[in-house]
């Protein structure tokens, strides 16, 4: 019998690629990701990825095994293998992705042998704002010979002239998190990754990825009740009451749209996405595609001021003093200007928090239409038709709500305005719930060595509430657990809480759990603290201006 021959394509995929070679490929603009020990070249996937290209770009040069398994089903993860170009040997030290400002050296065969050993330590290291005390002053320390610590923020006058106490504040936050959470050394983080994957096996064994469809029957009964009450009361001309129950319907429906966006209902991409689009676009007037594009990035770079769109709300809110630097958002691809409007709004952000969130739904309409009209929706791949289905849904929504209800049914403009405002303000607990889970949590940059589960638990809090109140929070009260396992159906999150608590105890990662009341206090306290830092900054600059001196550059 002739010996088995390995096909050339398989042999190439099994080739061990050096770290230096991978760095050189990324330097040429290629998108290489590590997944379960394999090196994937995903350039061909970028225009077809239903979640957009930004989540992929945030994973370039990194071991994205946990992130990819958390956000994708098993069938999708198996399909990633077709992008494999090689594999690695042993543990992987993450590069800082180019979108984060990482610098990469071109590959040269004649020099790779001398550079191989040092390439992992001296290139593309994270721009974490770590500081050293030198000569009694606090100054920024570069973490590598090629990457400046402020690389993701373009130089400008605001950054150059800021007082040193802002840098000291950044250092204080990092020192606090370093003391509170497990060590970032490779051994500790690998242990956390191993236990996180073991936890996933326990969750599968208990069937927590299986959807409880009877729970959705109860949800549908609740939706039907709210919709019927809204319609009947509208016919009876009890307009404010009708608006209230329509707002309740929208508030509750978003939770199911969220489940569908994570493929947590049927686990079928097209079925769940269609369910989500019908709920979000056709009934609620919001784009599911916009939400998925934004939300996928949020799950990858949670609470990173330069990258996470869910905390980028300038000029209305700033959850970190780092926004005073006019950071450049990699999601919106623009500078979040710390301008005159910001300086006024942010000083009172803790007082404006609830009033602004009462009107937050109007901003979601704007973002939805911006997404659909500016070509951000996928044009190729399995989601190519979503944009047109959403356009149809938007037209349908504004026909039945804007024309049918507001214009044709309501008698005058004052009644129309009342109906519009009541129905939208009633949905505001949803926006409070979303911001509650992250606004009060850490925004410190702990570098690329931090494991996925530790980062999710460091940047997300859960809300403690009685079981009978779960319907009101819609699963968002278990945001930390949801961030660990985004595809888990929300009706199983409470059952998973016990397992996650055991995982946290075993690994030494704190599990942030607050009551709804205490969580709100934490958020308001965080917003108030940042507002105080802004007032201190203005006083400092005013004093220096009055004295005719320049602020010291530190």
Higher pLDDT, 119 or 327: 327
Average pLDDT over residues 19-30: 94
Q: Looking at 376-451, list the stretches that DSSP marks H as alpha helix, in order from N- to C-terminal side.
A: 386-397, 413-425, 428-436
Q: What is the pLDDT of residue 391?
A: 96
Quick check: 470 and 219 in contact, CB under 8 A?
A: no
Count Cβ atoms below 10 Å from residue 296 Cβ, excluding itself.
Answer: 21
Binned at pLDDT 50, 70 and 90, residue 352 comes out as very high
Please, what is the Cα angle at 95 between 89 and 99, to 5 degrees? 140
Alpha-carbon distance of 362 to 442, in angstroms, equals 28
Average pLDDT over residues 135-154: 36
Q: Name 86's bridge partners.
A: 39
Binned at pLDDT 50, 70 and 90, residue 28 comes out as very high
Q: What is the pLDDT of residue 132?
A: 39
The values of phi and psi at residue 244, to 5°, are -60, -45
Angle between helices 19-27 and 109-122 (to 10 degrees): 90
Alpha-carbon distance of 102 to 78, in angstroms, equals 29
**What are 503-548's pLDDT values in tens digits?**
999 999 999 999 999 999 999 999 999 999 999 888 887 777 777 6
Residue 343 has pLDDT above 80, yes or no: yes
Binned at pLDDT 50, 70 and 90, residue 162 comes out as low
Q: Name 38's bridge partners.
A: 35, 87
Determine how β-strand 38-41 pairs with β-strand 32-35. Answer: antiparallel
Average pLDDT over residues 63-85: 92
Q: What is the pLDDT of residue 159?
A: 39
| Average predicted confidence (pLDDT) for the chain | 87
Alpha-carbon distance of 530 to 82, in angstroms, equals 47
Higher pLDDT, 107 or 349: 349
Q: What is the pLDDT of residue 7?
A: 46
Q: What is the pLDDT of residue 543?
A: 77
Q: Mean pLDDT lowest for which of 121-130, 168-177, 180-189, 376-385?
A: 121-130
Residue 33 has pLDDT above 50, yes or no: yes
Average pLDDT over residues 315-332: 94
Q: What is the pLDDT of residue 131?
A: 38
Average pLDDT over residues 108-115: 57
What percent of the chain has pLDDT above 70? 86
Q: If one looks up domain 19-100 in CATH, what number appears?
A: 3.10.120.10
Q: What is the pLDDT of residue 164?
A: 58
Alpha-carbon distance of 313 to 319, in angstroms, equals 9
Residue 123 has pLDDT above 90, yes or no: no
The residue with tokens 């550079």 is: 115
Alpha-carbon distance of 462 to 513, in angstroms, equals 5
Binned at pLDDT 50, 70 and 90, residue 142 comes out as very low
Q: What is the pLDDT of residue 379?
A: 87
Binned at pLDDT 50, 70 and 90, residue 154 comes out as very low
Q: Mean pLDDT lowest for which of 32-41, 110-119, 502-511?
A: 110-119
Alpha-carbon distance of 194 to 188, in angstroms, equals 10
Q: What is the pLDDT of residue 250?
A: 97
**What are 434-493's pLDDT values in tens digits?**
899 999 999 999 989 999 999 999 999 999 999 999 999 999 999 999 999 999 999 999
Average pLDDT over residues 312-334: 94
Average pLDDT over residues 151-164: 42
Residue 135 has pLDDT above 90, yes or no: no
Alpha-carbon distance of 287 to 88, in angstroms, equals 40
Q: What is the pLDDT of residue 541?
A: 78
Residue 136 has pLDDT above 50, yes or no: no
Start-end of CATH 3.10.120.10 domains in the chain = 19-100
Quick check: 517 and 465 in contact, CB under 8 A?
A: no
């Amino acid at each position: 019998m002739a010996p088995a021959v390995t096909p050339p394509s398989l042999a190439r995929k099994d080739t061990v690629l050096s770290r230096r070679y991978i760095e050189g490929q990324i330097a040429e603009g290629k998108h290489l990701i590590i997944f379960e020990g394999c090196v994937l070249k995903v350039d061909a996937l970028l225009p077809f990825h239903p979640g957009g290209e930004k989540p992929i770009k945030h994973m370039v040069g990194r071991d994205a095994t946990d992130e990819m398994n958390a956000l994708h089903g098993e069938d999708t993860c198996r399909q990633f293998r077709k992008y494999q170009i090689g594999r690695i040997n042993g543990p992987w030290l993450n590069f800082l992705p180019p979108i984060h400002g990482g610098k990469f050296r071109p590959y040269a065969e004649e020099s790779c042998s001398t550079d191989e050993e040092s390439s992992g330590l001296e290139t593309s290291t994270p721009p974490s704002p770590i500081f050293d005390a030198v000569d009694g002053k606090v100054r920024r320390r570069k973490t590598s010979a090629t990457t400046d610590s402020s690389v993701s923020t373009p130089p400008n006058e605001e950054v150059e002239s800021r007082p040193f106490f802002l840098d000291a504040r950044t250092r204080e936050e990092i020192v606090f998190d370093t003391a509170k959470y497990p060590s970032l050394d490779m051994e500790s983080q690998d242990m956390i990754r191993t236990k996180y994957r073991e936890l996933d096996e326990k969750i599968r064994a208990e069937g927590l990825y299986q959807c409880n469809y009877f729970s959705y029957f109860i949800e549908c009964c609740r939706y039907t009740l709210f919709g019927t009450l809204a319609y009947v009361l509208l016919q009876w001309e009890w307009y404010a009451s009708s608006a209230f129950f329509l707002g309740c319907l929208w508030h509750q429906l978003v939770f199911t749209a969220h489940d569908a966006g994570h493929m947590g209902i049927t686990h079928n991409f097209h079925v769940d996405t269609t369910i989500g689009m019908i709920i979000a676009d056709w009934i609620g007037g919001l784009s599911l595609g916009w939400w998925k594009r934004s939300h996928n990035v949020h799950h990858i770079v949670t609470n990173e001021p330069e990258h996470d769109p869910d905390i980028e709300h300038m000029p209305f809110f700033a959850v970190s003093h780092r926004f005073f630097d006019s950071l450049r958002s990699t999601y919106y691809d623009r500078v979040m200007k710390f301008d005159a409007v910001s300086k006024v709004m942010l000083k009172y952000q803790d007082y404006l928090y609830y009033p602004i969130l009462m009107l937050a739904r109007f901003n979601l309409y704007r973002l939805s239409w911006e997404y659909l009209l500016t070509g951000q929706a996928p044009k190729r791949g399995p989601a190519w038709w979503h944009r047109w289905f959403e356009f149809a849904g938007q037209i349908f929504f504004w026909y039945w709500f804007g024309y049918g209800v507001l214009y044709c049914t309501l008698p005058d403009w004052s009644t129309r305005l009342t109906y519009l405002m009541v129905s939208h303000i009633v949905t505001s607990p949803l926006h409070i719930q979303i911001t509650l889970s992250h606004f009060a949590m850490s925004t410190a940059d702990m570098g690329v060595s931090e494991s996925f589960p530790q980062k999710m638990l460091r940047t997300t809090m859960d809300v403690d509430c009685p079981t009978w109140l779960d319907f009101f929070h819609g699963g968002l009260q278990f945001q930390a657990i949801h961030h660990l396992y985004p595809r888990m159906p929300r009706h199983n999150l409470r059952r998973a809480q016990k397992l996650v608590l055991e995982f946290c105890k075993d690994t030494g990662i704190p599990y942030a759990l607050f009551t709804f009341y205490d969580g709100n206090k934490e958020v308001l306290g965080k917003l108030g603290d940042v507002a105080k830092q802004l007032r201190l900054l203005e006083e400092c600059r005013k004093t220096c201006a009055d004295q005719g001196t320049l602020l010291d550059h530190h």
